[in-house]
Every structure is written in structure tokens, then in C-alpha cells.
Amino acid sequence: MRVFVASLATETNTFSPIRIDRRAFHDAFYAAPGEHPPTPTLCSAPFIAARRRAKTDGFTLIEGTATWAEPAGIVSREAYESLRDEILDQLSAALPLDIALFGLHGAMIAEGYEDCEGDLLARARAIVGPDTVIGVELDPHCHLTQAMIESSTLIVAFKEVPHSDFSERAEDLVDLCLRTARKQIVPHMAVLDCRAIANFLTSREPGRLLVDDIMAREGQGSVLGISIIHGFPAADMPDVGTKILVITDADPATGRALASELSDRVLGFGANRMPEMPGPEEAVARAVAAPRGPVILVDRWDNPGGGVAGDSTFLLHALMTHKHVPTAAGALWDPVAVEFCRAAGPGARLRLRFGGKAAETSGIPIDADVEVIAVTDDLVIPFQQSLVSLGAAASLRIGEFEVVLASKRAQTFHPDVFTRMGIDLRARKAVAIKSASHFYPAFAPIAAEIIYVNCGGPYPPDPRAIPYTRLRRPMAPMEPSTPVWMTE
């Protein structure tokens, strides 16, 4: 048996002012064939799962390119086409194949390509032919399109938000693909478009119970896999929205019935899907009044993991009004300010302007007399089983307020953002971080409380206020809608 694996991924926020080219992929993560490290990245876990099964099952594994760019705005045409063609050339050279595995995000948009993953998979299908099993792992914050469904044999998305299970889902995908290639199962994908933007977190109810339930149902009877596609609202494209995908062993009726049931449950969450999100001033006042710290203030909407800059200052200004309360914030993207601090060195005092640079939605820059606490050439932090670089970084002190600045855009996955830069979170009453959900596994154990904060951003947090021009309507919550089947 011959198996090919490759990965091409990013998440495109079409409302973001940040444009990226191929350099962004090489800067974040790029592994040529055979050079993928032994630990997975968010979208390249199929490499690790396939390697493990190749050792136990004895098949031939051919590795292609694996690359990832930090979420941002539109990808350049040259970047997408060159990386796509690089992988497709590798795929062609690997023929004949029994299985082709792809680690994708599912929300990549490039100049001239509204559905990069659908384009890639359709071209891959044309190369390998109708009989090769094509298996795809997706982030649930994707746009599951008709082209992606029609070109794939099996699609598996992460279940958890935050995404703590990408390795487990890659194992599921590889196992299902192997069973399919061996004629042990005949997978059928039933996909129901909920016609709604209905994101939710699985770290809290009601999402936690739903994910526990679907995991218990997998492997029961003919049900092989269940994926809930949350969708990525920060993209102006037709396929935005929540979808339910159920894979059965040649049992379309069961798949459709289960997808309908799950759609009803997700739509029934209503306004309870997401936590309360006060504005910066209210959130900081609550944190300061809390009996103990650290209270984690989560800036969901200036989260680099959602494709935006991560340099907004609204929450920082609110913290700095409480001059005598020990607080912290990070990591704020400001490569220019980082270089000034590195040149000055630890212990130096200087007048510094930082933050508020990328767009009007970044807020007013902070101008202050600062003390440099620490600097580093490369701040590397854990994210699940992988490591993420924030690049050169510096930590600063302004009275009782401490902040970490980074030269690479990445969300604050782990407390090491602070502790490796000389900031003791146990001594802070409130800590503001740039993340939406991926912070949770590492920060929850140390948090006295977690408050999600609405600081605004390049696109409004309420879908009803997002200026869509390409979205396929009707779509809840903007107007009443009815779920629509994407598969027969």
C-alpha cells in the first residue's frame, strides 16, 4: 500500500488589513518532504499519525511539503499557486497511490481563489483518479464547501474548541482511510448546512455536553465519525456558516437522521453558545474588584489566531487607569518597539511608543516611560504538543503594569509568554491576553477567574453587524433560515 501526505494551511480573515505572501509560510512553518519534525503543528498532525501507522502496518509513506502561515488577511496569488503546485507535483510523482492525506485548515482565501482547499482537492482528485482514498483533516473554523466534499472520500474535523484534539482526529482520519482502502468499510458522508453562524466553545456548556455525546456515538452501529463545522465568520465568502458532517458505513439514512438531530441541538443553543463579553472598562473593573488574582482578561477580537494584528490597546489603556493595581498584558505585536528594547537592553529606561499601529481598530498607541525587564532573540512557547515562536520579544514595566511585546504575530497560548520574560503571574491581579479560546487549557489551572472581553476589532463580534457582501443568504441570526443538505 502506498500513502501520500501533505499539509497547506492558514486561516484568512478577509476583514484583516494584513496581507501575506509566501514568506509568511516559510516564517511560520515550512517543512520540505521528509523534514517534518516529530511533533505536529495544528494542521499537520496527519504526518505524525501516518508515520506511526506506517511503522505498525508496513505501508509505504511518501511525505510532501507541510507548511502553515499565521492567520491573516488575503494570501497572495503567487503564494497559494506556488505552494499548491509544489504539493501537486509531489503528489503526481508519488503515483500510484492508495491513499492521499491532506492536513488543511479549511478557511484559506487567496487572490483569485475563494476556496483554496476546494481548488487543491479538486486538482488532487484529478491527479490520483476516482479510486484513490482522499482523506482530509480540517479545523472546525473552516468553510466546508461543495468542492471539498465532492473531491474527498473522508473529512474529519477537530471536535474541541479550543483545539486540544488535532492529533487524535488525525489518528481517526488515518485509521478510517486505511480501513476504506482495505475495503473494510464503505464511507458515506452526510453533510447538513445549518444556514446559521453558530460558533460555540467546548470548554463550557452547552458545547461540552454536545461534544461528549458525539464522541460516545462514534463507533456505535454504522456511525464512523461526526464533525461539527463551526465555520469562520471573519470571512466574506459564500460558504461561511455552521455545518454538520456525519460519516457512516454505507448508511446514508442514519447519517442524515443524526446530522438533523445535531443541527437542531446546535441551533437550539441560541444566545447561550458564547460567554458574556463586557467591554474593556467593565471587565477591568470586575477584575480589580475580584477577591484574588490572577483574573484572566481574554481579548477575543484582537486575537492573532483570528487573522488580525494583535496590537490593539483598548484593554491595556483600561488596565493602566488602575495605576496601583499589579496587572499585566501580552503578547502585543510590535516588532519596532521590540527592537528598540533589545537595543536598550534589560534594566534600561526609555520613552517608548508601542501598540496601536496596524489599523484604526488597533486603538491609540501607548506613550510611556518604560523599564525593560527582559529581552530574548526568540520567545518559544508550548501549544498542545507543538511549539510556537513569537520571535524576538521584550517585557516592560510601567509602574505596576507589565507587558510583553513580540515581533511575530501569535496568540497567547501559554503562561510562558510571561514567565519566560520575567513576569510572575501569581503576583498580578489581572492579566490581559490576546487569544480567543486556545489559551484555555494552559491558563485555566492558574486563573482565579476568566473574563472574555469585547474590545472590538476589524470585524464586529456580532454577525448581524458584519458587513458581508458575498455571504449566501438567508443566514441566521441575520434572518430566519432552514437547514439545507449538501449531499444526497
pLDDT, tens digit (0-9, with 9 covering 90-100), for 119-138 = 999 999 999 999 999 999 99
Mean pLDDT of 413-435: 97
Torsion of CA 83, 42, 296, 272, to 10 degrees: 100
Question: How far from chain centre, in Å, is Cα 196?
Answer: 20
Q: What is the rounded CA–CA span in Å between residue 458 and residue 13?
A: 9
Asked if the model's pLDDT at residue 384 lies above 90, the reply is no
The three cell numbers of residue 214 are 458525539
What pLDDT digit, counting tens, does each position of 29-38 carry?
A: 999 999 999 9
Q: Residue 38 class from Cβ within 10 Å (0-12 exposed, 13-18 middle, 19+ buried)? A: exposed
* Collapsed DSSP state (helix, strand, coil) of residue 299: strand
Helix extents (H) in 110-251: 116-128, 146-151, 166-181, 207-217
Asked if the model's pLDDT at residue 394 lies above 90, the reply is yes
Confidence label for 386 from pLDDT (cuts 50, 70 and 90): confident
* Strand ranges across the sheet with 29-31: 29-31, 60-68, 2-9, 99-104, 133-138, 154-157
Beta carbons within 10 angstroms of residue 70's beta carbon: 22
Q: What is the pLDDT of residue 38?
A: 95
Q: What is the pLDDT of residue 248?
A: 98
Rg (CA), the chain: 23
Q: What is the pLDDT of residue 276?
A: 86
The span from the first CA to the last CA of the chain, in angstroms, equals: 31
Q: What is the rounded CA–CA span in Å between residue 6 and residue 63?
A: 6
The three cell numbers of residue 336 are 519596532
What pLDDT digit, counting tens, does each position of 36-61 carry?
A: 999 999 999 999 999 999 999 999 99
Confidence label for 458 from pLDDT (cuts 50, 70 and 90): confident
CB under 8 Å to 251, separation ≥6 — which residues? Answer: 188, 221, 222
Mean pLDDT of 75-91: 98
Q: Which residues pair with 227 in a beta bridge?
A: 245
Question: How far from chain centre, in Å, is Cα 114?
Answer: 18
Q: What is the pLDDT of residue 60?
A: 98
The three cell numbers of residue 444 are 485555566
Pair 433, 304: CB distance under 8 Å: no
Percent of the chain with pLDDT over 70: 100
Mean pLDDT of 151-169: 96
For residue 331, give the nearest of 279, 393, 284 by alpha carbon.
393
Q: What is the pLDDT of residue 465?
A: 87
Confidence label for 160 from pLDDT (cuts 50, 70 and 90): very high
Confidence label for 347 from pLDDT (cuts 50, 70 and 90): very high
Q: What is the rounded CA–CA span in Å between residue 326 and residue 328?
A: 7
What pLDDT digit, counting tens, does each position of 211-265 carry?
A: 999 999 999 999 999 999 999 999 999 999 999 999 999 999 999 999 999 999 9
Average pLDDT of the residues of the chain: 96
What pLDDT digit, counting tens, does each position of 296-334 carry?
A: 999 988 999 899 999 999 999 999 999 999 999 999 999
Q: What is the rounded CA–CA span in Å between residue 487 and residue 146?
A: 9
Asked if the model's pLDDT at residue 460 lies above 80, the reply is no
* Collapsed DSSP state (helix, strand, coil) of residue 394: strand
